[in-house]
Amino acid sequence: MQTVEKKSVPKHLRKYTAEQHYEHYTAINHAVWRYVMRQNHNLLKDTAHEAYTDGLRASSISIDKIPNVDEMNESLAPSGWGAATIDGFIPGVAFFEFQAKGILPVVNEIRKLENILYTPAPDIIHEAAGHAPILADPEYSAFVKRFGEIGMKAIATKEEHDHFEAVRSYSNLLEKGNATEEEINQAKQEVDECEAKITELSEAQIVGRFYWWTVEFGLVGDLDDPKIYGAGLLSSVGEGSNALSDEVEKLPFDMDEVINTGFDITKPQPHLFVCKDFKQLLDAAEEFAKTMSFMKGGTESLEKAVRSANTATAVFSSGLQVTGVFTDLLKDDQGEAIYLKTTGETALAASDQQLENHGTDVHADGFGAPIGQITGLEKPLEDLSDDQLKDIGVQIGNNTELNYENGIQVNGTVTDLVHHNEKLVVISLEDCTVTKGEEVLFKPEWGAFDLAVGTDITSVYAGAADGENYYTVDEAQETPIPEKTQVELNELYARVRAIRDNSSNNLVADLQPIHEQLKEDHPKDWLLRLEMVELLSELAETDLKQTLLEELNNLKRENEEFNTLIERGLSIV
């Protein structure tokens, strides 16, 4: 029997993970999960993609209780996936890297009872019950992983990064529950101000649109009779039930239409895109990738990296990868970049592996590199043999001068030559001067100069080439354990749950005292009344069941949302 290896989180991504603390989910939390899952399973058994029901079982997801993510991680292993708990918002680059590595990031929190229909913030219902089951389909699984590889390289603007941090701070304040009104208002104002500064459509935003209209809110199959596969629909009682109605316009999937269509996460979607099959998504993702900086390279891509003001990687034609925060570009008269600069910690890598003696400890204060062809050479510098390098004076111990066609001059003594995959990627020099006309780009007193070799920039992308070595490794976040609230009501929910699990022989007698306390102290709680009606549904009509139904009808009249929730609950009792 073949052993299936469980997924483990790479070191540099562990700082985004958190302990699940499964034992701290309350009886109300489990009841919320159970209500949503019963509703969705009843609806989706006929309307979801065929992989959904089988995928629920395969991923160790029960309808009756919140899943243990460690158990999910084991159960997903045969399909080439794993799962890891994360604590709330994480950067897009990190989120997509989890998926690229076949790890489903699952948020710890579960929506509150008052948000049971739908929550715009991710929660464990959305992640576990929405995303995990469809991953059982091999073609869809391949698409999500490939899209993760694409999404993790999408470059965002500085304004988007600032907005993300503001949203995360605001969210943390709300979650703590002890922030003052002034602190909350100030944080919300910061979010609004950051959002107003976002004026251009970045790669990251376009990736977000593609992801939203497919992985989150996608339909598949025949345009007139599609099936649901998007996690936002599979995990939402409200939108999932409405998605296939005539109220929602169905559009044939078209990549250009998708990436040019914005969305509002706070409102139901007015239209949805229907792909023919998951292969169409995978093909579209490959076409989309061709438009991105990591596939195009060049000056335009470098400019995006500079505007991001965050960690990015530029790849030279030699295969050398330079990771850092890009801050300056020197251009020629045609507007093409001929020299790039980073500020702060920088690392050099090749084939996604950091080069020895070229980590952030060595390049702690930034990095500069010319881009272009050496004058008089018939082929790129990186392709010269050892003898050809000697012919132009590039050998250890020699003082050498390299003149670029773009006018940059490099003059210094060679101390090291680094090759990778039979290409020269770095020439280390001491006593080195780098100039462009009268402009001095590097002085000998600044230390050794490590010359990046390459005639062109072939790829630029967000994040690091070798994240394990580039990023400071932090361990998993210690998630604060929430204070217990509604202790008495939770106890009532727990008692009903125990009665259901243990198959009571005297339901009415067991439930009667719970109902008395519920009626006295919690007259507005509809969900526990619904669970009690469900337990009593197999018995002949009883006074208790009739009383509970009357109370539910009264609640329906008092509150329109209660009316929807109770009606849906009773419909599957």
216 labelled as ligand-binding? yes
Pairing of strands 457-462, 311-316: antiparallel
161 labelled as ligand-binding? no
- CA angle (79, 278, 46) in 5-degree steps: 85
Give per-residue burial for 77-86: e unless 16+ CB within 10 Å, then b.
Answer: bebebbbbbb
List the structure tokens of 359. 């980590």
pLDDT at 479: 56
How is residue 265 annotated by DSSP?
T
Within 10 A of 435 (CB to CB), how many other CB atoms are there?
A: 15
Convert 195-209 into a string of H (helix), E (strand) and C (coil). HHCCCCCCHHHHHHH
- Rounded Cα distance between 312 and 323, Å, is 6
pLDDT at 3: 47
pLDDT at 88: 76
Q: Which residues contact 332 (CB under 8 A, 6 or more apart)?
A: 338, 406, 407
Q: Which residues contact 178 (CB under 8 A, 6 or more apart)?
A: none
List the structure tokens of 438. 């009268």
- Rounded Cα distance between 72 and 84, Å, is 9
- Rounded Cα distance between 86 and 70, Å, is 12
200 labelled as ligand-binding? no
pLDDT at 1: 36
Q: Compute the residue count for the chain.
A: 573
SS3 369: strand
Helices (H), 235-381: 237-242, 255-259, 278-289, 293-296, 298-308
SS3 545: helix
Residue 345 host element (H or E): strand 337-350
The predicted model scores a pTM of 0.89
Longest dimension (CA), the chain: 101
User: How far is the CA of 385 from the CAs of 63, 156, 200, 357, 371, in angstroms?
Assistant: 64, 39, 45, 23, 20
- Rounded Cα distance between 323 and 328, Å, is 14
**Residues of the chain under the 70 pLDDT cut:** 1-6, 118-121, 174-177, 473-485
pLDDT at 264: 83
- Rounded Cα distance between 461 and 304, Å, is 9
Convert 89-136 into a string of H (helix), E (strand) and C (coil). CCCHHHHHHHHHCCEEEEECCCCCHHHCCCCCCCCHHHHHHHHCHHHH
Angle (deg, nearest 10), helices 507-521 and 487-501: 160
Residue 408 host element (H or E): strand 408-420
* DSSP states of 140-208: HHHHHHHHHHHHTTPPPPHHHHHHHHHHHHHHHHHHHS---HHHHHHHHHHHHHHHHT--S--HHHHHH
- Rounded Cα distance between 464 and 292, Å, is 17
